[in-house]
Structure 1
Amino acid sequence: MQAPKPTEFSLDLAADLNKWRVFLAIGELGSLTRAAIFLDSNQSLLSRQVNALERECGARLFNRTGRGVELSDIGQRLFPQVKDLLANAQMLEAEIRSNVHEPMGRVTLGLLPSIGATMIPRLFKEVRSRYPGVSLKVLEGSSGQVEEWLADARVDIAIFYRYGATLPEQERALAVVDSCLIGHKGDTLTARGDVAFKALDGLSFILPSAPNGLRTALDAVARQQHVSLGTVIEADSLPLMKSLVAEQGLYTVLPVHAVWSEVQAAHLQAARIVDPPIQRTVAMVFARTKGPSRAITVVSQHIVSVVDEMARSGMWRSGGAGVRAA
């Protein structure tokens, strides 16, 4: 019987996968600057790495343009194979770590600033104390940005708001959030526990600019109720909204957890909007192109735990009661 022969592999260019990770990031983002931000590196280092990789390949992988870089013909042919190579390497690494060691690795979260400000400190404390091998990377942006990061697998877990009674099948409802009218200290309207939507008529608001889920919902209800929302300034910055409400006597609409510390310190006031209420669901979803590693799984479990803790303190209602999958 002939003795079995080992499989022979001769690796040179593929021996160091990190250089191909750089290639992939630049190819996807079309910019050295954006790739440097994504990889926590710097532009000059990535430029040197690309030049070295092109010398090793003996071919130009990118064409420089006035707006950034784009894949050359050779780069375009290599791109899907490199992406598959790195995806397989990542799955292998996750499998090894999940079966041999405690959860390890970096988990990237994409979420809205109004959620992150209160959730992340609690989540970081729990994960760091129980799983020292797991690190967190947090990206904050608008709902549209978070969904784009999710589609591109730039984040492992996305958390955002959904409006309506149903969720896509792959999304998990974490909590139901009431929208509140936010006013300055001593404001008589927001001193009440609840405020009818019609009471918003003629008030001076700072609101997020469209397209925005909350803005769309507010405008739709305002049309139905024949209410005029006096939007005197538009801003997508949560700190700016809080500042102008406190200092300039404007109003805004936010979930109470977004102003929790300011309300507790009596710097701002919040009254729940009713008749009709404006509610949204906090939803969590995994990137479709990534199978959850143990690190991602334990972080998601702690997210649920933190959401329940926040619900017990009165920030929202946990469980997403009444929300069903589409």
Structure 2
Amino acid sequence: MLVFEESMAKLGKNHKNGQLNIVANDVIDSRRLLYFYHVARTKSFSVAATVLNVAQSALSRQIQQLEADLDATLLERTGRGVSLTQFGQIVYEQAAAILDEMSATVARLHSARRQPTGQVSIAGSSSIMTVQMPEVLMRFMKEYPDIEITAVQATTGDVYDLLAIGQVDVAILSLGYESQKIVQHKLLTEPMLLVAARDHPIASHSYVKRDDLSELDLILPASENGMRITIERYCDDAGVKLSPHLRVDSVPLMKSLVQEGRFCTILPRMAVTAAEVASGDFALIPFKPKFTRTLSVACLSERAESPIVAALMRKVVEVCREYGTAQSQIE
């Protein structure tokens, strides 16, 4: 009976400096351990045989062999089934953890085989890349740690061009591009707002009329990007001519200049972060009539079936729709 305890003691002594020196005599046959575990759990050879889908005679032989391997009696037959001996209780207490770890190892191997590898890229304008993209990237990398991802910030027109020529796999677009070579999914429709410093005279207004924009000191985009085109279309519909004092392509620079107090700008709601709203740095004023833009996530039709591309697009949809819901609750 001492052999079992001596074997366990030897196993502990061989574990030095984080290294385990295991020899054959220290190892329990996993199938026999599984059979023993089910007999001990159900307290019945017949029930365990049914659960394991093996003949009861084969089950008995495996348990006997396990007892021979360990030189210890593990089970005692009783009138109502079987019960554990002192040594059987020790083995049973360890068996569940051992078998769970073995099962987890197999599951990790299966997961590793399914885990995609490779590269994927995404492009978007500065507003989406500043606010939503960090969360998209963090979630994607957590779920797909073996994928190399590249994020590119560009003007709206350049974002579309990068997608159209295949330089990026996924793009977030703010203008409605019609093309059979591109697959698009609507993300959200968000308000365009006048952004002013809290102490600006217009900050107290509940809304801004489109006709009044020509009277404000405005900062507008310099490039012919999606935001500029969207703003100009909105104003052209009412014959409003804008003469901005500054043209700037950097959203952070726009906001820094607005904070100085003189200038206002027009930005999509997502371009102003929750922290900036909470700090009270800016007044966000809606337009009359309503002014919105619609975002979509897109990829080339030929890449739509790629699991990696599809996974990245799903993450973009997930984050942007959560953002849209959160903003609707705030507003």
How far apart are 1:266 and its partner, in Å?
1.3
Q: 1:130: which partner in 2?
A: 143
Q: 1:278: which partner in 2?
A: 291
Q: Which one is further off, 102-111 or 128-137?
A: 128-137
How far apart are 1:161 and its partner, in Å?
0.3
Contact 1:257/1:315, CA 8 A, preserved across alignment:
no
Within a 5 Å distance, the mapping from 1:5-24 to structure 2 comes to: none
SS class of match (1:171): strand
Q: Are residues 196 and 168 of structure 1, via their aligned partners in 2, closer, same or farther at CA, if it must alter by over 3 Å?
A: farther
SS class of match (1:249): coil
Contact 2:304/2:310, CA 8 A, preserved across alignment:
no
Q: Are residues 145 and 224 of structure 1, via their aligned partners in 2, closer, same or farther at CA, if it must alter by over 3 Å?
A: closer
SS class of match (2:255): helix
What is the TM-score with the length of structure 1 in the denominator? 0.60
Q: Are residues 193 and 107 of structure 1, via their aligned partners in 2, closer, same or farther at CA, if it must alter by over 3 Å?
A: farther
SS class of match (1:314): helix
Within a 5 Å distance, the mapping from 1:155-166 to structure 2 comes to: 155-162=168-175
Counterpart-to-counterpart distance in 2, 1:213 and 1:220: 10
Within a 5 Å distance, the mapping from 1:1-326 to structure 2 comes to: 100-162=113-175, 170-260=183-273, 261-275=275-289, 277-314=290-327
How far apart are 1:187 and its partner, in Å?
2.6
Contact 2:200/2:261, CA 8 A, preserved across alignment:
no
Contact 1:202/1:228, CA 8 A, preserved across alignment:
no
SS class of match (2:139): helix
The one-character-per-residue Cα deviations of 1:256-311 (angstroms, maximum 9, x if unpaired) are 11012322221122111121x22211011113443542222212111111012101
Q: Which one is further off, 105-114 or 261-270?
A: 261-270
Counterpart-to-counterpart distance in 2, 1:274 and 1:168: 32
Q: Look up the equivalent residue of 1:136 and give its one-letter code.
A: I
Counterpart-to-counterpart distance in 1, 2:211 and 2:194: 12
Unaligned runs of 5+ in 1: 1-97, 318-326
The one-character-per-residue Cα deviations of 1:196-250 (angstroms, maximum 9, x if unpaired) are 2223231001101252333234334434434343400111111111111111520
Contact 1:175/1:316, CA 8 A, preserved across alignment:
no
SS class of match (1:201): helix
Counterpart-to-counterpart distance in 1, 2:244 and 2:125: 22
Q: Are residues 180 and 153 of structure 1, via their aligned partners in 2, closer, same or farther at CA, if it must alter by over 3 Å?
A: same
Counterpart-to-counterpart distance in 2, 1:281 and 1:190: 26
Q: Look up the equivalent residue of 1:151 and give its one-letter code.
A: A
| Identity fraction in percent | 24
Q: 1:321: which partner in 2?
A: none
Q: Which one is further off, 264-273 or 291-300?
A: 291-300
Contact 1:207/1:234, CA 8 A, preserved across alignment:
yes
Larger helix proportion, structure 1 or 2? Answer: 2
Unaligned runs of 5+ in 2: 1-110
How far apart are 1:149 and its partner, in Å?
0.7
Q: Look up the equivalent residue of 1:268 and give its one-letter code.
A: F
Counterpart-to-counterpart distance in 2, 1:223 and 1:154: 34
Contact 1:146/1:160, CA 8 A, preserved across alignment:
yes
Deviating beyond 4 angstroms after TM superposition, the runs of 4 or more aligned structure 1 residues are 166-169
Count of paired positions:
218
Q: Look up the equivalent residue of 2:148 and give its one-letter code.
A: S
Structure with larger RCO (C-alpha < 8 A, sep 6+): 1
Q: Look up the equivalent residue of 1:178 and give its one-letter code.
A: P
What is the TM-score with the length of structure 2 in the denominator? 0.59
Larger Rg: 2
Counterpart-to-counterpart distance in 2, 1:173 and 1:316: 20
How far apart are 1:119 and its partner, in Å?
1.0
SS class of match (2:235): helix
Q: Are residues 155 and 184 of structure 1, via their aligned partners in 2, closer, same or farther at CA, if it must alter by over 3 Å?
A: same
Contact 1:179/1:279, CA 8 A, preserved across alignment:
yes
SS class of match (1:162): coil
